[in-house]
Structures are given as structure tokens and as C-alpha cells.
Structure 1
Amino acid sequence: MSSWLGSRWQAKEARAARQEQSQREDRLRYEAERRNLYARFALMADTAAGGKYAALEGDLYRLRWEIGLLASPDVVQAAHRLTQALGGVGPHAEDPYVEIANFVHAVRAELGFPNDGLLPEHF
């Protein structure tokens, strides 16, 4: 009887360990997907700010929708302001690099990275 209880307990512990490992892998995968999405959006915005906005407008809006599904409200707002600036709308329409820097700051804050000492000219 005690060996049966021991084997049941071991099986339960093994299931719990597998579930915990699976959840940890899912979280890491989700974080990696978000980082990749944010990086693609920022790099594409940088290219668009360099004069290729018309060619990239559709892709930028598609990525912004993905960001809207996955990101914090601050990052979503920063992405929205950035696409507006690239489209010639908003307070930083003449210099969309300010909004790119603001987007990067919002992303770094969401991901838990420090923003100390980062200025717009770093981008």
C-alpha cells in the first residue's frame, strides 16, 4: 500500500513539474515574441522615417495592430503616436525620431529595462 501511495505521489509531483516547466517555456516564448515584434516595429519605423513611409505604411499598421493585442497601454499609445508622426500627423510629425525614441522608452519600461541616460540621439 505504501509503495502505491509513493508512486502516486511521485506521479503527481512529476505532472506538476512538467506543467510548471511548460508554463515557464510559454512565458519565455511570449516574451521573446513581444521583443521581436517591438524590434521589428521600431526598425521598420526608423526605415520609414528615412523616407520610405509610403512603401511601409501597411506593414507598420499591421504591426501596430499586433502590438495592440500584446502590449501594455503605454506601448500601444507610443506606437500609435509614432505611426501618426510618420504619417505627418501629431506634434512630432516633423521629427518622427522623437516618437521612435518615445516608443523605445515605453518598450524598455514594459520589459523591465532601465531607461537611465538614454536620449533620443541614441536611436
Structure 2
Amino acid sequence: MDKKLAKTIGEAARSARLRAQLTQADVAEMVDLVTEVYGRIERGGMVPSVPTLLRLCRALRISADELLGLAGPDGSLKLSEPPNEQGEKPEVRAVLRVLRQLDSGQIKLLGRLAVALKKE
């Protein structure tokens, strides 16, 4: 389970529920969940399934972007570029994917090879 995602969804759901002046039991009933399960979602203890996420959006009257932390309550997007690969060429991204799978000894060896190639 992605704990950061679970926490983000839980906080957004709780905030939307409170804005709508609903109880956890109200929302649980609206989305066809047991109250305890909905409580776990709000506390970040679980990530809801996609169908449940859709029902939550409808019940809480918020966008999936807001529930997933991609937008604020005002609808402003909070998207960011993928880390470390912004604007990189496809060939460089392919090399980075391979590098992430190597152990430290292999990376040191590859570093020496890269230095030798640079001298040529």
C-alpha cells in the first residue's frame, strides 16, 4: 500500500466530508461501505478501490484530482514533473532505468568506463 497516497486520500475525504457537514456514517452509507472501513480510509489506513473512489467523489462532491491530491479544493492543479528525468532524451531515460537496477559495484565499474570513454 502506498502510505502517502492513502494519507492524501484520507485527508481530502475528511476535509470534503466536514465541508459538507456529513458524518462518517453518512458517507459510508452513501458509498455502500461499513462505517469502520470508511474510517480507515479517512485515517489513511487503506487505499480505496477505483469503484469506491468514484463513489466517494460523487458522495463528497469533489473531483478525483482533489481526492488524489492532484488539485486543491479550488480546482487548481498541483501537478509536477517526474523527478530527475525532466526534459531528458529517451536514450538517457533508458540508460537511467538500467542504472537503477545495478548494484554499487557495477555502478563504480560503469563510472570508470564512462570516464575512460570521455577521455577519448
TM-score category of the 2 structures, normalised to the smaller one: under 0.3
Q: What TM-score results when the alignment is normalised by the length of structure 2?
A: 0.24
Higher relative contact order (CA 8 A, sep 6+): 2
Structure with greater proportional helix content = 1
Q: What TM-score results when the alignment is normalised by the length of structure 1?
A: 0.24
